[in-house]
Amino acid sequence: MIAEMLDLTGKRAVVIGGTGVLGGQFCRTLAAAGAEVFVFGRDQLRGERVVQDIVAAGGRAQSFSVDIAERASLEAARDALAGGGMDVLVNGAGVNSTTAFMDIDDEEWLRLQDINLAAVFRACQIFTPLMADRADPASIINISSASSGPPLSRVLTYGVAKAGVNNLTQYLARELAEKSIRVNALVPGFFPAEQNRAVLTEERVSSILGHTPMNRLGEPGDLDGALLWLASSRASAFVTGALIPVDGGFSAMTI
């Protein structure tokens, strides 16, 4: 019975940002639980590698080259999947910047807000028709960040966007409940990946570890349990509008 609660056999899952370090892990984990996974990302080659890993392990997956900054690109991908509906949407794409406040120009500000926040809005809006009123409630899982608040230094634009993701998640939880769609967010702590490599200097890591009770950075697999819990319509049937920190205790620390 317990194992069945996390069984996603017969479910269809889209992972936006599925070609990244964490996104690729999300894809593999959902596929291992039985879901058919659609890997969305700009890098087609990386997407195919994720698909190959999943297929080699006995799972089912397809890769789509998608530009999340373009509504038409997302809509085309949605239309390609429309025949079977959708059960899980993971919004995991993101980009970071270490530009100091006084040096951020409009172009950089708008680009980071678009990729980290507006793209989440677009994807939720575009895929809702495929997820509404299914036999089992569908699940949207937005990927937020520890930088969403209280604010962290050196990641202003990213942090503001992720704070917006938190707010959007809770708003949509209210808006989409009547359509039998649950909306939650994972709030990872510090997980080394492409988008934060410039931020995680030796000095910065030392400071982070000093503020993290578990005294280590996150590893991609650390998100697996929370991801599957939120994806499952049985394990988290009464959970929506939740912001779930997976951060080694970082958010529990003060001084």
**Residues catalogued as catalytic:** 158
Which amino acid is residue 197, in one-letter code?
Answer: R
Interatomic CA distance for residues 223 and 229, integer angstroms: 10
Q: What is the 3-state secondary structure (H, E, C) of 109-137?
A: HHHHHHHHHHHHHHHHHHHHHHHCCCCCC
Q: Give the Cα separation of 32 and 213 in Å (integer).
A: 30
Q: Give CB contacts under 8 A, 24+ apart, made by 247-250.
A: 247/146, 247/187, 247/188, 247/189, 247/190, 247/212, 247/218, 248/189, 248/212, 248/213, 248/214, 248/215, 248/216, 248/218, 249/212, 249/213, 249/214, 250/146, 250/189, 250/190, 250/208, 250/211, 250/212, 250/213
